[in-house]
Amino acid sequence: MELLSGISASSGIAIGKAFLYLEDEVPEIPRYKIAKDHSELEWDRFLSAVGEARAEVKTLLDASSHEMGKEQVELLETHLLMLEDEEFQNQIKETFEDRLENIEWVIRDIVHDLTQKLSFSPDSYLRERTADIADVARRVIYKLLSIRRFSLADLVEDVILVVHDLLPMDALIMNKERVKGIVMDMGSRTSHTAILTRAFEIPAVLGLSRATRLINNGAQIIVDGAEGQIVIDPDAQTLKRYRGALSRYQRNAKGLLHYTDYPAETTDGHRVSLKANIEFPEEVEQALRYGAEGIGLYRSEFLFLSPGHPAEEELQYQSYRRVLKAMGDRPVTIRTLDLGGDKLLPNIQDNDEKNPLLGWRAVRFCLSLPELFKTQLRALLRCSVEGQLRIMFPMISGLGELIDVLTFVEEAKEECRKKGQPYKEDMPVGIMIEIPAAAMIADILAKKADFFSLGTNDLIQYGLAVDRGNEKISYLAQPFHPGVLRFLKTSIDAAHAQGIKAALCGELAGDPYATPLLLGLGLDEFSMNASALPLVKKIIRDSSMEDCRALADAALACSSWQRIALLTEEWMGEFFPDG
């Protein structure tokens, strides 16, 4: 058995047989000279291949657009634009006329050079667009060489798709009924492929770098999309545990949707709020389908990264407004920019920091760039009149930082007043508790904040000094560590003592085994991946606060995470024997 850790792109569990899809970016291409008097014929051959490729993409778009989400339609339209790009065609023509080599080789050289340059760009958007360029070029080259590719649409058995870099078009056309999970060497959470896997609700883990070298075709593997982990050739105990989790989910999936119409209320009348985490406005539809009572975390930085430059105020305003309008009277919590670490803003941040996760990121970054920060704050203030907006600041480490960001909010309000732009004066402003120091002074911070949101992903990472991306020590990132539970309890109690609510928006919020424990600790609000909402709500509705508090008291008295994990498993086995 071997465990790999990567990037969680789409949550869920899949167990099955690996299918290695290891096509090269382009097939082997011949190279030969073209006689000058045959150059027109060669160029006509290129134009014909482009026309065929364009017709193919357009047919797919026309035939399936009614079944696709906005992101998928935009992807196909992007490929059409590339195929119709006169500037790019002119570049190919100039190179061809200069070298007089067969057109396939010319395309290969130009695309190779372009993608190489883009792959080293500090702009994550440009890096991720290399997949689109390669996809379009490969489509044209296959037409030129009269090669019929194996299509993932032709899969006839259930598989876990294992690929080096799944091109977006392949993701669109694949047989989604047969692809139960996706494992990929390349990719990030913002790539088109990642967006598509979430839209299709297929468990996926990306950024594994060596999965295609370690996984044999036909091997049994487990995809844990929520945790970003792959298990290769699992042992009997691991396989049993994951099969149990998967069968419980599948068995209860339809029944769980029944809970979307009911409040998250315990058997003895204690009510909490269940919300969804999103990164893109398009995810609101899924959040509503699964019964989200609001958006507990809208990660605004992806709006900045996608265009490759700081988003203008109007673009931000329209994006935030779109989410608020879609959610109606449900609250929407938008986190201000959390750039830095593994998310860099081109031309402003660089990757030279030795410890980027401890460096110039999040609120520290925003405070050092007043105009960029206030542009976002003005956009947020303006759209506050469109719904129930709450602003949340990440990585607050002390009272001084909190006072500074609140000062910026007041300055942004004054700027809106001068421009005659309306906003809600009483809009709630809260902070994330994700640095151990913030948890330890939560009683002080609670006097200035309207709410807390516990960011357990970073709280675990910083509190336990564990790099979650390092597979050698990832086993140490234990959410049930006694230190982590004490951070949570201290923060929740401090919030309640000051009369404000405490939410949790890390991955722990969507862990059903953590649900009764978090209830017992006094958590007011859970925010998670939308698909996890129904199961968490079922557990809440079938539990009593009295039993949950007893569990939390027992857990806080434990001296190790192993004992706490066993305690929660035993509790779940007793109160939910049928899973």
- Given this model, what pLDDT does residue 464 score? 92
**Active-site residue 66, yes or no?**
no
The domains found in the chain, sorted by start residue, are 2-23+150-234 (3.50.30.10), 36-144 (1.10.274.10), 264-575 (3.20.20.60)
Q: Which of 138-147, 255-264, 314-323, 552-561 has the highest mean pLDDT?
A: 552-561
pLDDT digits (tens, 9 = 90+) for 402-426: 999 999 999 999 999 999 999 999 9
- Identify the active-site residue in 366, 383, 416, 505: 505
Instruction: Specify the pLDDT at position 307.
Output: 43
pLDDT at 477: 82
Rounded CA-CA distance 413/555 in Å is 45
Distance CA 379, CA 375 (A): 6
Q: What is the DSSP string of 226-290?
A: TTTEEEES--HHHHHHHHHHHHHHHHHHHHHHGGGGS--B-TTS-B-EEEEEESSGGGHHHHHHT
End-to-end Cα separation, the chain, in angstroms: 26
Token code pair at residue 481: 């560590």
363's torsion region: left (phi>0), alpha (psi -120 to 50) or beta?
A: alpha
Q: Give dist(CA 531, CA 536) in Å, integer.
A: 10
**Half-sphere exposure (CA, 13 Å, Cβ side) for 436?**
11
pLDDT-derived band of residue 531, with 50, 70 and 90 as boundaries?
A: confident
Q: Tell me the pairing of strands 429-433 and 204-206.
A: unpaired
* 20-40 residue pLDDT tens: 887 644 567 888 899 888 889
252 pLDDT above the threshold of 80: no
Question: What is the 3-state composition of the chain as percent helix, strand, coil, each rounded to the nearest 5?
Answer: 55, 15, 30
Residue 201 has a pLDDT of: 84
Whether pLDDT at 121 is above 70: no
Active-site residue, from 164, 192, 416, 548: 192
- The yes-or-no answer on residue 192 being catalytic is yes
Evaluate if residue 348 carries a pLDDT over 60. no
Quote the percentage of the chain above a pLDDT of 70.
86
Share of the chain above pLDDT 90, in %: 47
- Please state the pTM of the whole predicted model: 0.68
Structure tokens at 491: 């923060």
Q: What is the pLDDT of residue 308?
A: 45
pLDDT value of residue 23: 62
Residue 421's pLDDT is 96
**pLDDT digits 0-9 by tens, 91-104:** 889 999 998 999 98
Are 154 and 175 within 8 A, CB to CB? Answer: yes
